[in-house]
Amino acid sequence: MFLSVIIPTRNRARYLSGALESLTRQTNTRDNFEVIVVDNGSTDNTQEICASFTDRIPQLRYFYEETAGLHTGRHRGMKTANSDILVYGDDDIEATPTWLEGVAEAFGEKGIVLVGGKVLPKFESEPPVWITRTWEKGHQGGRVLPYLSILDLGDEVKPVSPYYVFGCNFAIRKSVLLETGGFHPDAMPPELIRYRGDGETHVARYIIEHDYKAVYHPKASVHHLIPRDRLKESYFFNRAFGQGISDSYTDIRSKKSISLWKLRYFKFMHRLLFSLTFIRQARIQISYLEGYCYHQDEVRKDPDLYSWVMRET
């Protein structure tokens, strides 16, 4: 089975080299996959890094896409892919040697449209105890910490909710991705944060609504670099703020209007929780509420932003 590995990147050449290095060690033979790097407006030496791997990954292709936005890079990769199986990875992963072997095995089962596996943390520095405890606590028959995009659901192949196939290790049939209309807007530079959407969550929801099958395959696993700046409370607050924006975007699209009752309720909860700011979880929830309310207010004030949120694809 031929696979198209797609890695969007932006000014992260120092991490990208590790991801590409891991692709030189795959148990899948070189003839069975291609690698597409979409440079999403980098000003560093990303192109040179890619060029340095062409001897060891002959099927590596590099594209420059100046338009900002993670979804833009993902779609450019989709359009140029030669396979119906698209394997999306982040530029800071290191794939296990069996990553692509596991993806191919999973798609060999009839009816499978989405495949994920473990996303194991590779901490750049020692994580604080509260993060370690949260990760080790256990969830969904394994370990999941969504704000760091890490997940381990064990060592057995099993059906899985599409919501537990994270974007940094996300393999999907191109035909199904086209059915969904593609990814919604996702990670944005800070100055464009109001244009953030719900990314691959939209795709996961579509798969559920159409009774398609997703599977977790432990061979199809990666290690995900967790930089030291993501081990700070401030990162979790910013990540929660972004999640609030994403959920506001989802609500507006699904209900076709701004949810004024929910907005009022969230603003009330924000005031209530503010008295508990010494509690970490309360502060994270406050950030989420702030993101949700910020986006709802921005859309209410700006008809052009509402049109952006409601675009068909």
Q: Which of 4-8, 185-189, 231-235 has the lowest mean pLDDT?
A: 185-189
204 and 59 in a common domain: yes
Closest C-alpha to 211, from 275, 159, 144: 159
Note the pLDDT tens digit of each residue in 186-229.
Answer: 888 889 999 999 999 999 999 999 999 999 999 999 999 999 99
Co-location of 223 and 250 in the same domain: no
Nearest to 247 by CA among 264, 269, 263, 270: 263
pLDDT at 60 over 90: yes
Note whether 211 and 68 are same-domain residues. Answer: yes
Which string of DSSP letters, residue by residue, matches 58-81? TTEEEEE--S--HHHHHHHHHHH-
Residues of the chain above pLDDT 70, percent: 91
The pLDDT value given to residue 282: 76
pLDDT tens string 120-159: 999 999 999 989 888 887 666 799 999 999 999 999 999 9
| Domain membership of residue 279 as a residue range | 233-309
**Global pTM?**
0.90
3-class secondary-structure state, position 139: strand
Tell me if residue 116 falls in helix, strand or coil. strand
**Which DSSP helix (H) or strand (E) runs through 114?**
strand 112-116
Mean pLDDT of the chain: 91
The 10s digit of each residue's pLDDT in 63-75 is 999 887 888 999 9
Question: 224 with 244, same domain?
Answer: no
Are 236 and 284 contacting, i.e. CB atoms less than 8 angstroms apart?
yes
Are 69 and 26 in the same domain?
yes
Q: In 170-202, which positions are buried (b, 16+ CB within 10 angstroms) versus exposed (e)?
A: bbbbeebbeebeebbbbbbeeeebbbbbbbbbb
Number of domains in the chain: 2
Query: Is 198 in the same domain as 265?
Result: no
d(CA 86, CA 5): 6
Domain of 106, CATH number, reads 3.90.550.10
Which of 177, 212, 230 corresponds to the end of one domain?
Answer: 230
Identify whether the C-beta of residue 218 lies closer than 8 Å to the C-beta of residue 114. no
**Nearest CA to 239 among 137, 136, 148?**
148
The Cβ of residue 146 has, within 10 Å, a number of other Cβ atoms equal to 13
Mapping DSSP to helix (H, G, I), strand (E, B) and coil, where does residue 22 land?
A: helix
DSSP string, 24-68: TT-SS-GGGEEEEEEE-S--SSHHHHHHTTTTT-TTEEEEE--S-
The number of residues in the chain equals 313
Nearest by Cα to 37 from 19, 25, 55: 19
End-of-domain residue from the set 185, 212, 230: 230
Residue 40 shares a structural domain with residue 184: yes
Q: Residues 104-122: pLDDT tens digits? A: 999 999 999 999 999 999 9
Same domain flag for 18 and 163: yes
